[in-house]
Amino acid sequence: MVFQLRRRQPKQEAASSNDAQKNLQRPSAQEIYEQVANNARQELGRSTVSLIISGLAGGIFMGLSALGTAIALSMLGPSTQAQFVAKMFYPIGFIVVILGRSQLFTENTLYPVALVLAEKKHFWHTMRLWAAVLPSNVVGALSFASLAALTGAISPEIVRSLSQLGLDATHHPPSTIFWSGVMGGWIIATVAWLVSGSHSITGSVIIIWLLAFVVGLGNFAHCIAASGEVFAAILTGQLPWLAFPKWFLPAVAGNICGGVGMVTLLEYGQVIYGGDADAEAIPAPEKTENESL
């Protein structure tokens, strides 16, 4: 089944779309899918250098999630209540990166893959994007960790909390990290899908905060958000360098499986094979004269 995505709306359709937004009309799954595909075209059209720079910025900004959590833990202590409060700061990095349109690898398990499912010719462009964004995200996370752990920019108490987060992330067998990554990738790809259908910045912030808070609260593996924490533990001598790939590879694999398998393929199936693209609303019953009076 071939599904043609609309690239641009005519002026009349764009005006009606704006009216729908003003009325807070809920977009259909097809409309969200088209927005996701259009976002993917924009990202795939960027040069490799642009993607690398944006990915580097994304990796650095994601350090805000680790930093906010570590600051709260250093102030509140290791109690269960403190852990809950500290995780409220975990979504900060996601908010900054997603709204700032920096490249985040786990977002790109949705956008370009959704386009590839409809237009197979973009497969190698997607591989180019992944090959540029994932390493640059990691280098950005290492840059953040170096700034935090080696320069004295933050207090030793916060560095200890940051390193402890890295120790906690790596002290699991690879299978646990993988399935935890599936959960994390699923939730963050869902964030990208829902933000594409949001009508406002406020709504996007709420969506990102709520779902990313669940990722942090559940300690689900996220290959970029936790990289800064793991690097901090390595740079402070609490972990060997070999600990990073042992944690990172199953986390990436889980994030890809969760993002692609549990969101992109399901939403594609809903829109295309589920018939949402061709579905029409059931007409409302006509009013009788007595009802109109």
What is the Cβ-side half-sphere exposure of residue 290, based on CA atoms within 13 angstroms?
0
The predicted model scores a pTM of 0.82
In this predicted structure, the answer to whether residue 293 has a pLDDT above a threshold of 50 is yes
Question: According to the model, what pLDDT value does residue 113 have?
Answer: 85
Structure tokens at 213: 């808070």
Q: Which residues does 115 contact at the CB level (< 8 Å), separation at least 6?
A: 5, 36, 37, 40, 41, 44, 122, 126
Is the CATH number of domain 27-274 1.10.760.10?
A: no
pLDDT tens for each residue of 131-151: 999 999 999 999 999 999 999
Give the DSSP letter of residue 45. T
Q: What is the rounded average pLDDT of the residues 178-196?
A: 93
Q: Containing H/E element for 290?
A: helix 289-292
Distance between terminal CA atoms of the chain? 48
pLDDT tens for each residue of 41-100: 888 999 999 999 999 999 999 999 999 999 999 999 878 899 999 999 999 999 999 999
223: buried, middle or exposed (CB in 10 Å: 19+, 13-18, 0-12)? buried
Q: Is residue 188 within 8 Å of 106, Cβ to Cβ? A: yes
Structure tokens at 212: 């990313």
Domain boundaries, the chain: 27-274
Distance (Å, whole) CA 155 – CA 32 = 44
In this predicted structure, the answer to whether residue 107 has a pLDDT above a threshold of 50 is yes
Read off φ and ψ for residue 275, nearest 5 degrees.
85, 10
Question: According to the model, what pLDDT value does residue 97 have?
Answer: 95
Q: Is residue 39 within 8 Å of 196, Cβ to Cβ? A: yes
